[in-house]
Amino acid sequence: GDVDYKKDKKFADLLSDKNTAVSEFARKKTMQQQRQFLPIFAVKEQLLSVIRDNNVIIVVGETGSGKTTQLTQYLHEDGYTNYGMIGCTQPRRVAAMSVAKRVSEEMNSELGEKVGYAIRFEDCTTENTIVKYMTDGILLRESLRESDLDNYSAVIMDEAHERSLNTDVLFGLLRDVVARRQDLKLIVTSATMNADKFAEFFGNVPVFRIPGRTFPVDVMFSKNPVEDYVDAAVKQAMQIHLQGNPGDILIFMPGQEDIEVTCESMGERLASLEEAPPLSILPIYSQLPSDLQAKIFQKNKDGVRKCVVATNIAETSLTVDGIIYVVDAGYCKLKVFNPKIGMDSLQVFPISQANANQRSGRAGRTGPGQAFRLYTERAYKNELLLNTVPEIQRTNLANVVLLLKSLGVQDLLQFHFMDAPPQDNILNSMYQLWVLGALDNTGSLTKLGRKMVEFPLDPALSKMLNVSVEMGCSAEILIIVSMLSVPAIFFRPKGKEEESDAMKEKFQVPESDHLTLLNAFEQWKRNSYGSTWCTEHYIHVKAMRKVREVRQQLKEIMDSQKMDLVSCGMEWDVVRKCICSSYFHQAARLKGLGEYVNVRTGMPCHVHPTSALFGMGYTPDYIVYHELIMTSKEYMQCVTAVEGTWLAELGPMFYSVKDTKQSRQERKKVAQASMTKMEEEMKEAESQIKARKEE
Ligand code: ADP
Ligand code: MG
């Protein structure tokens, strides 16, 4: 039978303490004691009284003081759940899930019942849920349906100092909601940064500071700039470990790849030493499967030291107890709009001073600690920014524009942002939406645009799904979109590269990675969605199950939008054409032997080695790509061969049949003119606002 994927309790099961020897009674008792030991507990009554007297308050406290796990429970105990839910937003999925799990245990309820969480494509709540942790993106989408958030009696915007894109948009929206709803409590929490700015934004609301209880941390800088931070971090951690003093280690790395290399290299070094005491090396990053993520919270077995290797997720979102040593590589990955490629990309940047101090602080939670910064004091003082630039000022805003437009914010310059995004960003995003057909020449939502907003997807994917209905291949595109919405499907274990590559080749459709994904799913379906089949074919079974779940959820939205599921059978050219209809702005042309250049910019770009089109001797004249990733080179990931004529037909603002330089310039002119027109209208709107303000 079909499994109900909507209620994913597997995460909960994996985390459960069923296999520990501690009695239920002892566990609960210690949990209550732990709660009472948190700094926030000491000020509980004062805090609740400030909340009773004010509709909006800012709560500031060190990481680990109990804001995320306790505030919701305090509000519940104070009766706020009698007339609505308590919602708590998190910028990160991992935090939403793991904190919900923790709080459900503290409240002695099964995860998904009284306490639940919701992240994109995963709703672990029921009608009984009174405390709901969710990503900020989820609450933002909920505001589309319920602009006053009537289901909630209190909303906690947690981790506001992170200034994530969605949190920043929520700031603007919630500011109006609290003005309309006198019965809603809004609590904004921050880890010691930006509090006054938040207070001012909401009209000089009170700031409540939780007295900290932290231990001193010795901060050590590197004497000379380090050449290889992974290598330096491994050496530093090994040195700490071999010295033999107790305490766990936390290493900060910019991203998954570096974390993997660090863990591996540390494992190898450990294995090469005969007398080395055991060390439990635990990676954590957002794409890590949740059962492995949960391991960082488990108690050290037999006193084995833990070494957690994390992204900035461990900076403030998740508190790992017992950390005495922090090793900070000094970098993080940030999403930035890259004008060269005309889209966002994740790039490695030096952290800010605020980040650096948060990271060091993690060593002083349980006792005096030590922080090793793998950069010089000079670099810290002269090269690091004081604070990270908020996401809203550095990324593509296409999704935000689409959302705000559909919320009736006609003029984005009028929207009350805490820090307004640069006008160029807004215009660029509007331009992209115009190219996709979501906005018309006046910058208003089109019929297509309105339908696109319904899907929790990037605009291009949303468009593809919408267009696929008319093109007669929505059944296929739905699977492809679902496959693209989960982390990697194929795995390639060390030492089994050849076997796994050979297996993957079985699925490969020479002209398209998208079709390869479709093919893999179809074959899995033909094999009764089996898990053994997955393992045999080096495919992540969990990822595939997630695909089914995502597919089901998108299908429900399609149903509600009266979008039919139609199949093109084996006519996969139709599918390729549909892909082209939404990705024509990301096209590359063959130039020379196996070399591609971006059709619009002329910039060289390379087919990613994991692609079906890589090194197969098949080099179509034109391809479109799902995304560009920047490593040593610019790689196009997930590509599909298309016809030049399709590009001309589907992306007329860019291409003509005879792609001569002149006609391309003409296209560019048309596009430019349209953008200028939009710009003028926005300026016009701006002057109207000014005039209105002066009145
Ligand atoms: P804050 O939000 O102020 O940083 P939290 O409420 O997240 O603080 O953390 C309070 C305490 O709860 C910390 O000691 C932390 O270790 C513990 N905690 C939080 N999440 C978990 C979890 N998933 N498992 C075990 N302990 C947790
Ligand atoms: Mg927190």
pLDDT in tens, 557-574: 999 999 999 999 999 999
CA 245 to chain centre: 37
CA 98 to centroid of ligand 1, rounded, Å: 9
Is the pLDDT score of 686 beyond 60? no
Residue 436 to residue 453: CA distance in whole angstroms = 13
The predicted-structure confidence for 468-512, as pLDDT tens digits, reads as follows 999 999 999 999 999 999 888 998 888 888 899 899 888 999 999
Q: What is the pTM of this model?
A: 0.87
Q: Which of 199, 251, 213 is nearest to 230 (CA)?
A: 251
Does the pLDDT at position 265 exceed 70? yes
pLDDT at 463: 97
Nearest ligand, measured from the Cα of 248 = 1
Between 289 and 244, whose confidence is greater? 244
Q: Exposed/middle/buried for 293, CB within 10 Å: 0-12, 13-18, 19+?
A: buried
Residue 26 is predicted with a pLDDT of: 55
CA of 82 to the centre of ligand 1 (A): 26
Nearest ligand to the C-alpha atom of residue 161 = 2
Q: What's the gap between Cα 252 and its chain centre?
A: 18
* C-alpha span between 317 and 320 (Å, rounded): 10
pLDDT band at 293 (very low <50, low <70, confident <90, very high): confident
Question: From ligand 2's centre to the CA of 644, what distance in Å?
Answer: 51
Nearest residue (CA) to ligand 1, atom 13 = 64
Among 133, 84, 135, 83, smallest CA distance to 107 is for: 133
Percent of the chain exceeding pLDDT 90 equals 67
Going by pLDDT thresholds of 50, 70 and 90, the confidence category of residue 11 is: very low
CA of 317 to the centre of ligand 1 (A): 9
pLDDT digits (tens, 9 = 90+) for 64-82: 999 999 999 999 999 999 9
The pLDDT value given to residue 212 = 85
Amino acid at 540: H
Q: Which ligand is nearest to the CA of 97?
A: 1
Q: Tell me the CA–centroid distance for residue 487 and ligand 1, in Å.
A: 27
Q: Give the Å distance between the CA of 314 and the centre of ligand 2.
A: 10
- Judged on CB neighbours under 10 Å (0-12, 13-18, 19+), 546 is buried
Q: Phi and psi dihedrals of 69, rounded to 5?
A: -85, -30
Instruction: State the distance from the centre of ligand 2 to the C-alpha of 190, rounded, in angstroms.
Output: 8
Closest atom of ligand 1 to CA, residue 317: 4
Select from 446, 322, 421, 420 the least CA-distant residue to 34.
Answer: 322
Determine the pLDDT at residue 439: 94
Least confident of 16-20, 93-97, 165-169, 266-270: 16-20
Q: Which residue's CA is the closest to the ligand 1 atom numbered 22?
A: 102
Measured in Å, residue 611 CA sits from the centre of ligand 1 at 41
Ligand that comes closest to the CA of residue 162: 2
* Angle between the N-to-C axes of helices 497-507 and 513-526, in degrees from 0 to 180, rounded to the nearest 10: 90
Residue 4 confidence (pLDDT): 36
The share of the chain scoring above pLDDT 70, in percent, equals: 89
Determine the atom of ligand 1 nearest the C-alpha atom of 65.
3
* Closest protein CA for atom 17 of ligand 1: 319
Higher pLDDT, 87 or 429: 87
Please give the average per-residue pLDDT across 97-103, as a whole number: 95
Atom of ligand 1 nearest to the CA of 40: 3
In ligand 1, which atom is closest to the CA atom of 70? Answer: 6
Mutation choice for ligand 1 from 27, 31, 69, CB with most ligand atoms inside 8 A:
69
Distance of CA 63 from the midpoint of ligand 1 (Å): 9
pLDDT one-digit tens code per residue, 46-67: 999 999 999 999 999 998 999 9
Going by CA atoms, what residue is nearest to atom 21 of ligand 1?
Answer: 102
Task: Give the pair of three-digit tokens for residue 338.
Answer: 């890259």
Tokens encoding 549: 């779940």
Return the residue whose CA atom lies nearest to atom 25 of ligand 1: 297
Give the span between the Cα atoms of 184 and 177, in whole angstroms: 8
Max mean pLDDT range (16-20, 166-170, 618-622): 166-170
Is the CB of residue 164 less than 8 Å from the CB of residue 190? Answer: no
Q: Whose CA is nearest to atom 20 of ligand 1?
A: 99
From the CA of 44, how far away is ligand 1's center (Å)? 17
Residues bordering ligand 2, an ion, CB closer than 5 Å:
67-68
Identify the weakest region by mean pLDDT among 212-216, 255-259, 384-388, 477-481: 212-216
In what side-by-side order are the strands of the sheet with 85-90? 122-124, 115-119, 131-135, 85-90, 152-157, 185-190, 56-60, 207-209
Query: Which of 187, 319, 365, 366 is the best mutation target for the ligand 1 pocket, counting ligand atoms within 8 Å of the beta carbon and taking the most?
Result: 319
The ligand 1 atom at the shortest distance from the C-alpha of residue 61 is: 3
Per the DSSP assignment, residues forming a β-bridge with 490 are 539
Cα–Cα dist 60/193, whole Å: 8
Residues 6+ apart with CB under 8 A from 153: 80, 81, 82, 83, 84, 85, 86, 183, 184, 185
Distance CA 572, CA 413 (A): 43
pLDDT average, residue stretch 104-133: 96
Average pLDDT over residues 321-349: 85
pLDDT at position 618, please?
Answer: 82
* Alpha carbon distance 332, 254 (integer Å): 4
Residue 200 CA, ligand 2 centroid: distance in Å: 22
List the Cα angle 180/115/168 in 5-degree steps. Answer: 45
Contact indicator for 575, 518 with CB cutoff of 8 Å? yes
Residues with CB under 6 A from ligand 1: 38, 61, 63-70, 98-99, 101-102, 297, 319, 321
Of the listed ligands, the closest to the CA of 66 is: 1
Q: Which of residues 413 and 556 earns the better pLDDT score?
A: 556
> Which of 8-12, 349-353, 426-430 tops mean pLDDT?
349-353
Spatial separation of the C-alpha atoms in residues 114 and 111, rounded to whole Å: 7
Atom of ligand 1 at shortest range from CA of 294: 23
d(CA 175, CA 198): 11
Ligand (nearest to CA of 214): 1
Look up residue 437 and give its two tokens. Answer: 């057909």
Q: SS3 letters for 260-328?
A: HHHHHHHHHHHHHCCCCCCEEEEEECCCCCHHHHHHHHCCCHHHCEEEEEECHHHCCCCCCCCEEEEEE
Choose one of 41, 102, 162 to mutate for the ligand 1 pocket test, by most ligand atoms within 8 angstroms of C-beta.
102
Taking a C-beta distance cutoff of 8 angstroms, is the pair 539, 546 a contact? Answer: no
Ligand 1 nearest atom to the CA of residue 62, by list position: 3
Q: Say if residue 19's pLDDT is above 80.
A: no
- Taking the CA of 365 as reference, the closest ligand is 1
Average pLDDT, the chain: 89
Half-sphere exposure of 271 (CA within 13 A, CB side): 7
For residue 64, how far is its CA from the centre of ligand 1 (angstroms)?
Answer: 6
Q: Of 15-19, 69-73, 291-295, where does the model show the most confidence?
A: 69-73
Tokens representing 331 are 């970098």
Q: For the segment 316-333, what is each residue's pLDDT rounded down to a tens digit?
A: 888 888 999 999 999 999
63 Cα nearest atom in ligand 1: 4
- Going from the Cα of 319 to the center of ligand 1, the distance in angstroms, rounded, reads 5
Angle between helix axes 24-37 and 93-106 (nearest 10 degrees) is: 120
Q: Quick check: 5 pLDDT over 50?
A: no
**Strands 622-630 vs 85-90: parallel, antiparallel or unpaired:** unpaired
Average pLDDT over residues 155-168: 95
Ligand nearest to the CA of 91: 2
Closest atom of ligand 1 to 320 CA is: 16
